[in-house]
Homo-oligomer: A and B are copies of this chain.
Amino acid sequence: MSRLRDLGEFETLRRLMAASGGHPAEPGPPSAGGVVVGPGDDAAVVRAEAGRDLVITTDAFVAGRHWLDGWIDPRALGTRLARANLSDLAAMAARPRWATLAMGLSPERDAAWVEAVQGGFAAALGADGAAVIGGNLTAADGNEWLCVTLIGDVQPGLVWTRSGARPGDLLAVTGHPGRAGAAVGLIASRPDDARGPEWEPLLVAWRAPASRVDLARALASSGAVTAAIDLSDGVGGDLGHLCESSGVGAEIDARIWASDPMIEAAAARLGRGARELRLGASDDYELLMAVDPAGLPRAELVAREAGVPFAVIGRLTASPGVLEWVGVDRARSRIEPGSYDHYR
């Protein structure tokens, strides 16, 4: 095992550049991915495609909060880090192009671990058509951290925001929101249980969220989606953000949102409510979307063809800021957003 302390910063950087795939270090015609100057200079140079806007997001993972050594191998961590940023571009219906990865790491960290994180990160981006073009390496005292900036592009007019939803639009989600949070709950309170095969679907949702980039771009072409947000705070919290930006309210309807047997089982084991797990803090990196009812059949067809779970869970209302849960018995109750707050 080589620690970063043994290799030093510059040899580690050389290995990380290799783990990102070959890129030009000297100016020339852009590569297929639009890279003119890759990692290794003061900055990278890329060539954007004419007529498209750039879409830029940044997101950080902190050890102990966003990942737990022992519960995720380094390559999977790199993949998850990529997917957490890809989901922000998916929520804008953008195409991923270029990323930077800055890391604050302990000098005692195994260099092979770092290369595996970088390799998983680069591979997950590559699968969605994006390249790692730069980074930064510094020592961390205390918890380690990973910070990504991801740049994509979009055809002006096709970009999704949080602010376009209208009363009467339907609310839809991809995947199985709440599973990632349920996995974290199991790990925290029942770590021995959590490794059991029966919980694997929850652990996978947490460890290896899927990319929704292709689905989002196909849905954007359908024109049916009026607003979108990625699910990183949980359905309740992110629905609150979307409603605030759009100036609308929402109701989630238990009569149309089919229950998730995995969430039901986790709720029973944890002694918590299934509704709480579905709405509460959970970083699923799935999409929450407002859908024009007239476009719903098209949207459902697109999702089916893409093989992505897609469920209508409620609708938007004309009562700004009011979020309600409609039970199977039609009883209404308020949803408390309850976003994960890093400072509370």
Contacts and interface: CB of A to CB of B under 8 A. Distances in A.
Interface stretch (A84-92, A119-127, A167-175): A84-92
Contact of A48 (B48, B100, B245): B48
Contact of A88 (B43, B102, B139): B43
A7 to B, nearest CB: 7
A206 interface: no
Contacts of A139: 62, 65, 342-343
A329 interface: no
Interface stretch (A151-159, A189-197, A218-226, A264-272): A151-159
B62 A53 contact: no
A145 interface: yes
Number of copies: 2
A54 interface: yes
26 contacts: A4-B343, A5-B344, A10-B339, A10-B341, A26-B161, A37-B159, A37-B161, A41-B92, A41-B162, A42-B88, A43-B88, A45-B54, A46-B53, A47-B53, A56-B98, A56-B134, A56-B149, A58-B135, A58-B136, A58-B149, A60-B102, A60-B138, A65-B139, A102-B147, A138-B342, A139-B342
